[in-house]
Amino acid sequence: LAAGILSGSSTAWLGVLHDVLPPGYADDFIGSLGFAYSLACNVGAVAAGVAAGAAEGVRLRLKAGILSGLTLLLAAGTAWSAICTNGNNHALLLALMSFMGLGTGLTNPLFFELGAEITYPAPEGTSAGILVLIWNLIALVLIFLPASLGRIMNYVFLGLVFCCVLLVLGVREDRRRPVDGGTMSGNGECPASPAMAAPVTT
């Protein structure tokens, strides 16, 4: 649920960025803000995906990784909302937007991984499908909000991100999927097989 809310709200928020910013910003600059967010989001997603695939410690701490990304997004988003009324801080706005994108990107692969873990033995496509469904529904609702809301959309977006933090905090991270064909134990470790437990004698 948190993954779908985050993806849907960020997609909708970027789509109304022109209405969110006060008058005085050039269209080219607004476009560069969206580009910076998307680029940083992709970088963060690749980095988190590689780390989750290569480091066992990351796979065992998916919840902590997600909360770190959400905290970065929330902090940068709050600062961005506070200074966007000043049309002279273009470089700072670009930097903060990049940090927002990075925070969002860091959570994306970890959300999919955690969703697959806590919904096992359901197919991984099930959790991914539910995530995308919520994503589209949230984006659809937010896009149809009146453009006259203006800067209020910033606070709607940040409020939804804060809700995502609360939802993730309430998740019990449980390692359910088997590792290399084994059966996962309750503490997240794959128990040793009989062949591994005792030496083979001839």
Q: Which has the closest alpha carbon to 163: 155, 153, 172, 151?
A: 155
For the whole prediction, is pTM greater than 0.85? no
Average pLDDT over residues 21-37: 85
What percent of the chain lies above the pLDDT cut of 70? 75
Q: What is the pLDDT of residues 15-25, one digit of tens each?
A: 878 878 877 78
Spell out the alpha helix ranges (H) of 16-89.
Answer: 17-20, 27-54, 56-59, 62-83
Burial of residue 80, with CB atoms counted within 10 A of its CB: 0-12 exposed, 13-18 middle, 19 or more buried? buried
Average pLDDT over residues 174-201: 46
DSSP code of residue 157: H
Is the pLDDT at 99 greater than 90, yes or no? yes
Q: What is the pLDDT of residues 137-154, one digit of tens each?
A: 888 787 777 766 777 888
Q: Report the distance separating Cα 12 and Cα 161, nearest Å.
A: 13
Whole-number average pLDDT of the chain: 77
Is the pLDDT at 58 greater than 60, yes or no? no
